[in-house]
Amino acid sequence: MAQDKLKIVPLGGLGEFGMNCMAIRWQDDIIVIDAGLMFPEEELLGVDIVVPDISYLTENREKVRAILLTHGHEDHIGGLPWILSELNVPVYGTEFTLAYVEGKLEEHRLLDDADLNEMIPGKRLTLGPFSIMPIRVTHSLVDCVALAIHTPVGVVLHTGDFKIDLSPPDNKPFDLHAFAELGKQGVLLLLQDSTNVDRNGYTPSERAVRPKLDEIFSQTKKKLFFSCFSSSIHRIRLAMELAHEHGRKVAIIGRSLDNSTEIAQDLGYLDVPQGLVINPGQIRDFPANKLLIMISGTQGEPMSALSRAAVNNHKFAHIDADDTVLLSSRVIPGNEKSIYRMIDHLERRDAKVIHDDGQSGLIHVSGHGSQEELRLMINLVRPKFFVPVHGDYRHLKRHAELAGSMGVVEKTILLEDGDVLELDKGSATKTGKVTVGRVCIDSGGTSTDVVEDIVIRDRKHLSEDGIVLPIIAINKRTGLLENPPEIVMRGMAIPEEGLIAEARQVVQRTLEGSSSEEKADYGVIKEKIRNDLKRYIQKSTSRRPLIMPVILEI
């Protein structure tokens, strides 16, 4: 009978990076693996985050048993507040993952009603017909697991994000033995991370960055600014160890870094020597060569601490000539412009910038396995069927080809979001599609609005609140204003005369309070003008018009 088949239904993450979410269904029971978000492309105006459409789950709400989280990165847990507000089901994750989740749910006032349960690697849990064994894997974050899901037709193994690191800094290595055991028992389906399928060889261990970073610490004569992803606990720990060895005090700047280091300390992943960390306000009390400043903003986000410091607009972080700025992270595709713009500002300050350009030596390693690790995993578990997950279509296709060429797998299947794969002990067939898509979330102001469709949303927005165009003419050579800002308002449905004059003052004040470097960086200056005007108009009119600053170069 058709209902005696296991259904695998990807709701996000197959055909894009981010938004990872997958439903696994046996008859009247569904479990969900991960609940991620992705950040919007530039053309999604006014959208803060994008989460998967979970219509399939809400239509079957009484069948959903739980959400299981492989690890704590945003592309795996960031959609949880949105999903739990629609569907309050139990959530399972490792201790560190749940610490991140708690912070996120508290922010959205959902923590009191949430049912959070800790998963322990190696300890089995049962949900309806599913028996789940979390297996420790290594990644760029701590406390990550793969999930071996024992179902009535066989074992489905979901790797989560992983690389095979046998000597990680926290001495909790990748559990090769557990995967080999599964291979002996037989695996029906392997769902494997495709992120680095384009890279040959093996991904180096997290420990491999130590020699180069040690060298940078010993050669830096003045302040050392260190930026990495706030979730890279191993990297934060290494930076603190090196600071201690080289006699530098550590100041931590940026909310996300602050939160992560606090959680990592509470859970024993960071052992910070007494007196090593100082308050950002104490930076000026120490000589430059005795300071390590850990700062967030490695992707050049316009209002991040490092972007603001790069244009000399940060209360505590002042970057002087001959200071060293180390970006210990990769460039996320799509962020190249903002990162290189920030590097330009840093270079203008005569800072020495070290980033992952292939020339700087090993200052960053990926958290995802390269081709040989993907092959090793397939050889270890020897699955009957193989489905690549996590990546753009080209990554999934290449990964399916790699698995197919090994002669181990009986059948590789390429799935995209919404495809339904039906499995029994001997067959795997694509049988149809469910509704999937992107839900755009605008979390501006106090509420979280779902943007149903970007065009309808913009039309609605414009019809209700209008549009404001601040037009600023800046002299490209001098960075000075050519004439006072012009403000064009349309569709505001309120008397505009006094409002325009005041709005002009607001823009003028923003510009006067910005350095010439900020004015030369149109991304930063537009964001500042938009924020200040939005605040003023919302306060004085209770409206939220679309604000689109226009910069004219003269």
Is 368 a known active-site residue?
Answer: yes
Q: Give the domain CATH number at 296.
A: 3.40.50.10710
366 in a known ligand binding site: yes
- Cα separation of 264 and 71, whole Å? 14
Concerning whether 266 is annotated as a catalytic residue, the answer is no
Check whether residue 51 and residue 141 sit in a common domain. Answer: yes
Same domain (yes/no): 346, 220 = yes
Q: How far apart are CA 313 and CA 305, in angstroms?
A: 9
Identified catalytic residue from 53, 143, 193, 417: 193
Alpha-carbon dihedral 400, 405, 406, 410, rounded to 10 degrees = 70
Is 345 annotated for ligand binding?
no
Question: What's the CATH code of the domain at 498?
Answer: 3.10.20.580
Rounded-to-integer distance, Cα 353 and Cα 376, Å: 37
Tell whether 71 is in a known binding site. Answer: yes
Task: Work out the number of other CB atoms within 10 angstroms of the CB of residue 508.
Answer: 14
Given the structure tokens 């070290």, which residue do they identify? 354
Domain identity same for 374 and 510:
no
Amino acid at 497: E
Q: Is 113 flagged in the annotation as binding? A: no
Last residue of a domain, one of 301, 329, 354: 354
Which residue, among 381, 437, 426, 408, has the nearest Cα to 191 in the 3D structure?
Answer: 381
Angle, alpha carbons 230-234-235 (nearest 5°):
65
My answer on whether 332 and 389 are in the same domain is: no
Residue 191 located in a structural domain: yes
Are 187 and 256 contained in the same domain? no
Q: What is the pLDDT of residue 492?
A: 73
361, part of any domain: no
Q: Which domain holds residue 410?
A: 2-201+366-439
* Beta carbons of 145 and 134 less than 8 angstroms apart: yes
Q: For residue 446, is it within any domain?
A: no
Q: Are residues 277 and 231 in the same domain?
A: yes
Domain boundary among 439, 460, 483: 439
| Residue 359 domain-assigned (yes or no) | no
Q: Where are the alpha helices (DSSP H) in 295-423?
A: 305-310, 336-348, 371-381, 393-404
User: What span, in angstroms and rounded, lies between the C-alpha atoms of 532 and 534?
Assistant: 6
Q: What is the pLDDT of residue 446?
A: 38
Residue 74 maps to which CATH number?
Answer: 3.60.15.10
The end-to-end CA distance of the chain, in Å, is 72
Residue 360 within any structural domain of the chain: no
Residues 126 and 36 in one domain: yes
Q: For residue 367, say whether it is annotated as part of any ligand binding site.
A: yes
- By DSSP bridging, strand 224-227 and strand 291-295 are parallel
Is 73 assigned to a binding site? yes
Catalytic residue among 314, 345, 368, 461: 368
Overall size of the chain counted in residues: 554
How far is it, in rounded angstroms, from Cα 324 to Cα 110? Answer: 42
Residue 445 confidence (pLDDT) = 39
Residue with structure tokens 């002042």? 318
**Does some domain include residue 308?**
yes
Q: What is the pLDDT of residue 283?
A: 96
Q: What is the number of structural domains in the chain?
A: 3
Q: Is residue 131 part of a domain?
A: yes
Asked if residues 187 and 369 have their Cβ atoms less than 8 Å apart, the reply is: no
Series of mean pLDDT values for 10-residue runs along the chain (554 residues): 81 92 96 92 68 94 97 95 94 97 93 96 97 97 97 97 94 96 97 96 94 96 96 95 97 94 94 95 96 95 91 94 95 85 95 85 92 97 97 95 96 96 95 89 57 62 81 80 85 73 89 83 87 89 86 82
What is the distance between the alpha carbons of residues 324 and 494, in angstroms, rounded to a whole number? 51
pLDDT in the model for residue 335: 83
Domain stop point among 321, 354, 387: 354
Q: 3-state DSSP call for residue 40?
A: coil
Same domain, 477 and 537: yes
486, 529: one domain: yes
- Report the pLDDT value the prediction gives residue 3, as an integer from 0 to 100: 54
Angle at 335 between CA 333 and CA 340, to 5 degrees: 120
Q: Are residues 44 and 152 in the same domain?
A: yes
Are 349 and 415 within one domain? no
Residue at 444 is within a domain: no
| pTM of the predicted protein model | 0.82
Q: Please state at what angle helix 233-245 crosses helix 210-219, rounded to 10 degrees.
A: 40
Tell whether 457 and 411 lie within a shared domain.
no
Distances (CA, A) of 373 to 55, 169, 196: 35, 19, 10
